[in-house]
Amino acid sequence: MSENETPVPPDGTEVRTYFVRERNAMLARSDVSGLFVDYYLHLHDEGLRHEPTADRMLKDALVALLLHSASRPWSESVAWTINFQHPLLNVFVAADNRLATIAGNVFTKNVKENQSNLFYSDLVRNTDLPRRSVVTFEGSEVFPAVEEYYTQSEQRPARYFLLDDEDYVFITAQPGCDLEWFAALDIEAVRAIDKTETLSLLETRHYKWFCGCSEEVLLPMLATAMKVDREGLFGEDDSIRVTCPRCGAGYTITREMLEKKLGDAAG
Q: What is the pLDDT of residues 28-55, one digit of tens each?
A: 999 999 999 999 999 999 999 999 999 9
Residue 262: the pLDDT is 73
- CA angle (245, 250, 255) in 5-degree steps: 105
- How many CB atoms are located within 10 Å of the residue 41 CB? 11
In this predicted structure, what is the pLDDT of residue 147?
A: 98
The predicted structure's pLDDT at residue 264? 63
**Measured distance CA(17)–CA(21) in Å, rounded:** 13
Decide: helix, strand or coil at residue 49: coil
Residue 157's nearest CA partner among 131, 139, 175, 135 is 175
Alpha-carbon gap, residue 86 to 239, rounded angstroms: 36
Per the confidence metrics, is the pTM higher than 0.75? Answer: yes
* Cβ partners under 8 Å of residue 85, min gap 6: 113, 114, 116, 117
Would strands 101-107 and 198-209 be described as parallel, antiparallel, or unpaired?
Answer: parallel
> What was the pLDDT predicted at 200?
98
- Backbone φ, ψ for residue 251 (5° rounding): -135, 140
pLDDT at residue 5, as a whole number: 47
Average pLDDT over every residue of 16-25: 98
Q: Which residues of 171-198 are buried (b: 16+ CB within 10 A; e: fewer)?
A: bbbeeebeeebbeebeeeebeebeeebe
Quick one: pLDDT at residue 3? Answer: 47
The answer for residues whose C-beta is within 8 angstroms of residue 151's C-beta and 6 or more apart is: 157, 158
Residues 6+ apart with CB under 8 A from 168: 29, 30, 32, 63, 67, 160, 161, 162
Give the residue-averaged pLDDT of 22-26.
Answer: 98
- Interval 159-210: pLDDT, tens: 999 999 999 999 999 999 999 999 999 999 999 999 999 999 999 999 999 9
What type of residue sits at position 194? D
- The pLDDT value recorded for residue 1 is 40
Confidence band, pLDDT 50/70/90 cuts, at residue 238: confident
Mean pLDDT (whole number) for 62-77: 97
* pLDDT attached to residue 232: 80
70-75-79-80 Cα dihedral, nearest 10 degrees: -50
- The band of 266, judged by pLDDT with boundaries at 50, 70 and 90, is low
User: How far apart are alpha carbons 131 and 116 in whole angstroms?
Assistant: 22
The yes-or-no verdict on residue 78 having pLDDT over 80 is yes
Is residue 245 within 8 Å of 210, Cβ to Cβ? no
Among 36-45, 75-84, 234-243, name the one with the lowest average pLDDT: 234-243
Distance between CA atoms of residues 96 and 99, nearest Å = 6
Position 69 scores a pLDDT of 98
